[in-house]
Amino acid sequence: MTGSVPSGNLLLSAAILFTGLLPSKALRFMEHINIQTITPNTFFQHQKHYLHPSICSVWKTFQDNYFQKMVESGKDLTIGGDGRADTPGHSAKFGSYAILDLELSLVINVQLVQSNEVKSSYHMEKEGFIRSINFIKEKGLKIAEIVTDRHVQIVKYVREEMPETIHHFDVWHVAKGLKKKLTALSKEKECERLQLWIRSICNHLYWTAASTPDGNGQMMLEKWQSVANHVQNIHEHNGDLYDSCLHGPLEGIERHKKWLEPGTKVAERLSDIVMSTQMKKDVPKLSPGQQTASLEGFHSVINHFAPKMIGFSYQGMLSRILLAALHYNENGMREHASTKEGNKRFDIIFPKYKKGEYTVREVKVECTYEYIERLMNSAVSLAEEYAMNSSTVLDDQPVPPPLCSSFERPEKTRAIQEKMSRYTNRAHENDECESSECS
């Protein structure tokens, strides 16, 4: 026994949650091979009284250590932020916002927002962002630079409420939207030749940011707009800071590319995209250095612990997101694996989005799970100190009311009667229709 709880039962529940398993599947697996095990209700009682508080405790310990070190160092933060909804579309119940220290590649804060805490699902990302920023400021740290996507509400908030912070856009998010527009244009009549240039134009956007380390917005804009001339074999431009291409004279194969003809439909439509108001706003704010690609990796880890096809309670979702953060922080910067001979290992994959083109990927060393040992020790300590029915075990974090709490709940018997009578009336209507057709 661990306190008032059978030790094996507690450790089984802890292992299920801490490894990201779903209790319904894990316990059903045990039943199918005739292993006596706990019931789902027992698992949820363990989760409520011991496992949730253990996760929050270990996460808080990590945060306290991190922020203490950062305060002592006196450095300003360079962070990245991105949101994630628990379901696709605009009908999400939960929205989480994660903040990543881009220099250390550590998730330092996660905020979970339920849709009834804000006006609608669309506003969850902004609310999560504001909570994260306020949390960091309360720790006495300053944010020198922040990298996000182009969420318009967040852009406005940073501009008005954080004037001392430099706000950059992640290049991948801008390139993603650009590629969609170019692909759609290449499918129009007389624009097919653009298909050959899509990859180069997107690469040029990345080069625009990477080749301007000082973040000069005007220089980046002129570099970007030069691509409209370059694809037409025009390499002199009207910019004040960037008046000619840097590639030098083109010779051989490079000189005989399938250039776009000036004045044609495809050239004009491409120029409209390159010179659009949206690009004029976005390109000068591209991040020349740090990006938020690591946050996309963190979101894939969340998908392991909290699959989007499964509905979780608020506390259940929060715990699984924090588990994902603990796992990412321990394994996000794994070293490059080597063979026995000492050679670096690589793998060739064929991503679906590349449509047949391959990618060479580094093979990392195996993941470690030291954080699970800390979680286990914390859960056992709580079980030894508190009984299962003790209210002091419960986490004191406020939980928003369920979404259905704002609706009037009908009496169950009456609701069933209305359902049955509705089907009865429809059956009578169908019988009358069939009788009239026969007559």
Alpha helices in 139-213 (DSSP H): 152-161, 171-186, 198-210
Per-residue pLDDT of 299-309, as tens digits, reads 999 999 999 98
CB within 8 Å of 22: residues ≥ 6 apart:
307, 310
Name the amino acid, one letter, at 177: G
Three-class SS of residue 135? helix
β-pairing verdict for 359-362 and 77-85: unpaired
Q: Where are the domains of the chain?
A: 1-74+370-402, 171-285, 335-367
Per-residue pLDDT of 72-111, as tens digits, reads 999 999 999 999 998 876 788 999 999 999 999 999 999 9
Tell me if 400 sits within 8 A of 316, measured CB to CB: no
Phi, psi of 5 (to 5 degrees): -115, 135
Tell me if 83 sits within 8 A of 129, measured CB to CB: yes
Q: What is the mean pLDDT of the chain?
A: 90
Tell me if 266 sits within 8 A of 185, measured CB to CB: yes
Model confidence at 435, pLDDT cuts 50, 70, 90, reads low
Cα–Cα dist 379/393, whole Å: 11
Tell me if 324 sits within 8 A of 303, measured CB to CB: no
For residue 84, the tally of other CB atoms under 10 A from its CB is: 23
CB within 8 Å of 362: residues ≥ 6 apart:
336, 337, 344, 345, 346, 347
pLDDT of residue 248: 80
Q: Could you tell me the two tokens for 249?
A: 């004279």
pLDDT of residue 436: 56
Per-residue pLDDT of 241-263, as tens digits, reads 998 988 888 776 666 678 899 99
Three-class SS of residue 201? helix
Residue 10 vs residue 423, higher pLDDT:
10
Q: Could you tell me the two tokens for 395?
A: 């986490």
Per-residue pLDDT of 370-385, as tens digits, reads 999 999 999 999 999 8
pLDDT of residue 429: 59
Task: Determine whether 99 is exposed, middle or buried from the number of CB atoms within 10 Å of its CB (0-12, 13-18, 19+).
Answer: buried
Crossing angle (nearest 10°) for helices 314-331 and 52-73: 50
Q: Could you tell me the two tokens for 91?
A: 């009908």
Tell me if 169 sits within 8 A of 152, measured CB to CB: no
Per-residue pLDDT of 320-342, as tens digits, reads 999 999 999 999 888 999 999 98
pLDDT of residue 255: 67
Q: Could you tell me the two tokens for 316?
A: 């259940």
β-pairing verdict for 346-349 and 143-148: unpaired
Q: Does residue 422 have a pLDDT over 60?
A: yes
Q: Does residue 55 have a pLDDT over 70?
A: yes
